[in-house]
A and B are shown apart, each in its own frame.
Chain A
Amino acid sequence: MSVDGKNRAFAYPTKAFFVRMITRDINLEDCILDLIDNSVDSAWNQEGSCPMGLGDGANLSRYTIDIQLLPDQFVIRDNCGGMSLDNAVEHAFSFGRNATADRDDFSIGVYGIGMKRAVFKLGRKVKVRSTFTQSDGSRLAFVVPIEVDTWLQNDAPPWDFDIADDNPLEENGVEISVSELTPGSASSFNSPAFVQNLRRIIARDYSLHMQRGLKIRLNGNPVVGWAINLLQSDDFIPMRVEYTDELEGDTVGIEIIGGMAAPPPESIDPDEGDDGDRRFGWYVVCNGRIVLAADKSALTGWGTEDWPQWHYQYAGFIGIILFTAANAAALPLTTTKRSVDTSSEIYRRARPRMREVSKRWISYTNQRKQALDEARKRESAAVSVPLASIAQRPAVTLPVLVAKPAQKSANVNYSVPVSRMKKLAQEFGNINMPYRDVGLRAFEYTYQDLVGKD
């Protein structure tokens, strides 16, 4: 027996693989973020593509990204310069970046799949419009219409999409519209909770870009970015270090900042549905984009090695680690760009430095329990400073507090129906009063009544 005449195994992809399969591994929100990333990359490119650290002063206030989620249509439109015709012909619509593509632009785009995956996830009828200025100074407009079902019918190469002339957009930029939405996108766009949540995600993950002036609108209303700031005083000084690392010939710039963003919580137990600690934890930023926000999990070290699990007591801490690289492939990104790739060497090497500042904060929150009044006094003296203005300093400074002997205390824990708790809170004058405070008030009230003054 021999393999004569059968010595090649067929290994050609099918279109359905790209339309039906790779769209399953990403959720709708992340697809929309992929499209925003492309607009941001384009704006960044217009501004000259420098490393997106904190120090530089790049200004994005000229740029607006407008997103509309309608019951039967999705539209994203930017004025970020547009996609050139050559780019459309050669790169933008191919699946996967080819080896010759320019990789030195500090972009967040890396794989060459985001836009295609996003539009396939969204719907069946797609229009990508672009208007840009050519090298001779004249403007050119084109459109790439995609009928997904028709395109799917034939797997034979070459795979391509038509490009046609188009009326120019008002400003240079790209407009992608998708109709005949997939059932999943249609029902999500109908959900006010989905839309609000998307707004929250955008507000958080693009907050550094919005601090540079970028405007993002969702269904007509501007998204207001999170303000990520740290507090500073003589007692509380954030750490900030900068260094570079190498990965297979690529240089990666790393910046770590950490410290107190708010005084720790009054109580060490989270109250009912309290989102009191949602801003705190570690932020991982890759070429300007926040890929992990306010993380309290093992991804940023909590609960690993000799590092404790996140506890509500640690709220108030914010740490930020920024990675920048001309070649985004060197960044510790997952393919969906919504998490950090913990197997990345660059990231693993940065972890001990992250641990150091986290541990100092943990020990401060333990210490302050013995000297609460003093701690609160000092904490309240710290003022908010923008990240960019924080000075270099290898370690965080936190006050050393001397413990006061405390009275032995009893902890009380009991449960009652929420509706009764709410009624009592309302009677105490604040329907949102934390349960703990209702409990204390109730205790004091009874104590006064039955025991009287101490």
Chain B
Amino acid sequence: MPSFNVVNYSLRPSKSIQRQLVFEGISKLKASLDFERQVYIGFGSIWFTDFVLAHRLLGIDDMISIEANEVGYHRAVFNAPYATVRVLHGLSNEVLPTLYSDGSICTRPWLVWLDYDYHFDETRKEDIISIIENSPPNSILLVTFNGGEMKYGKAPDRPARLRELFGAAVPDDLATNSCRDERMQQTLADFALDLIQSTASDLARPGGFIPAFRLIYQDNAPMVTVGGILPTKGAVTTAGGIVNNANWKCRPAKPIVAPPLTLRESAVLQSCLPSVERLSRDAVRALGFDLEEDQIETFQTYYRHCPTFVQILA
């Protein structure tokens, strides 16, 4: 089942925080790099949440959404939020090649977000490599995929599977232990970045690839988002300076696992923030309710990015 039938995209708090962080990161880059007439390319589904952010936060006009599902395509056309959104019908590996030669966009910097629900496999890999090979200078590539360990075979099979998927950069002695539990998503994120970096280097893209995004988040399945800049040669130093600065927020060490909160809960919590001290579980109990330790920590770290959901009973 296409995932838009499962749940409203915007109702995933961790995903939403992650998306917010990424867009804030890009807008930071935008201040110093030439993203003139940037084009957004993504999978808008029928909700277009990322498209709305791209337009509002980054001021991007021209946007292309790729949709393979027949019904989904018609609903997407109907739901497209702006006049400048083009919905293209087909699988990404069919549609992307047509964009590389599309005269209206092929010389402008792209912001491509391949936000798959799917796990990383041979087909996703082809998409990613083709973007690295063909996207214009100063493009940004983001890829999100399912990092659930079971999608990559049983534990002992995983190192071999990852070798197959990520190629030469995977060490011959990758341990099964690195492919288990929450380490699996870290491992996947590292190899996906290595793959992009190696592909860009081997291809001698003049500016190479600058890794900038590495986020793991979880609403249902654990998801991995990686990406970075494919800069012009001249932009390498500037871009590297921004993403390697201590205040760059798009490579959090810990996974983002946000609690779904009621409006009342988040308002009360928020009234205690910002605070230099860690908000304790006792403090939350004192407010009259309760949350897990890591939920509190995530809230405190990301409360400015947390969405709140109100149930409308009509």
Contacts and interface: CB of A to CB of B under 8 A. Distances in A.
Nearest to B164: A273
A193 B169 contact: yes
A204 to B, nearest CB: 11
A197 B168 contact: yes
Contacts, number: 61
A191 interface: yes
A418 interface: yes
Contact of B201 (A191, A200, A422, A429): A191
A97 B172 CA distance: 39
Nearest to A187: B201
Interface in B193-212: 194-195, 197-198, 201-202, 204, 208
Interface in A400-425: 418-419, 422
Given A429-B154, A432-B161, A418 B122 contact: yes
Contact of A431 (B123, B152, B170, B171): B152
B157 A192 contact: no
Contacts of A273: 164
B292 interface: no
Contact of A194 (B121, B161, B202, B208): B202
Interface residues of B, number: 25
20 contacts: A187-B208, A190-B197, A190-B201, A192-B169, A192-B198, A193-B168, A193-B169, A193-B195, A193-B201, A196-B169, A196-B171, A199-B171, A200-B172, A419-B121, A419-B123, A422-B121, A422-B122, A430-B154, A431-B161, A432-B153
A426 interface: yes
A430 B153 contact: yes
Contact of A191 (B152, B161, B170, B202): B202
Main secondary structure of the interface of B (DSSP, over half): helix
Interface string A273-288: 1000000000000000
Contacts of B153: 426, 430-432
Contact of A432 (B160, B195, B197, B198): B160
The 7 closest A-B pairs by CB, nearest first: A431-B153, A191-B201, A193-B198, A192-B194, A192-B169, A193-B168, A193-B169
A339 interface: no
Interface residues of A, number: 25
Contacts of A196: 168-171
Interface in B105-126: 121-123
Nearest to B167: A193
B122 A188 contact: no
Given A194-B198, A195-B169, A196-B168, 19 more contacts: A187-B204, A188-B201, A190-B197, A190-B208, A191-B197, A191-B202, A192-B169, A192-B197, A193-B169, A193-B194, A193-B202, A196-B169, A196-B170, A419-B123, A429-B154, A431-B154, A431-B161, A432-B153, A432-B164
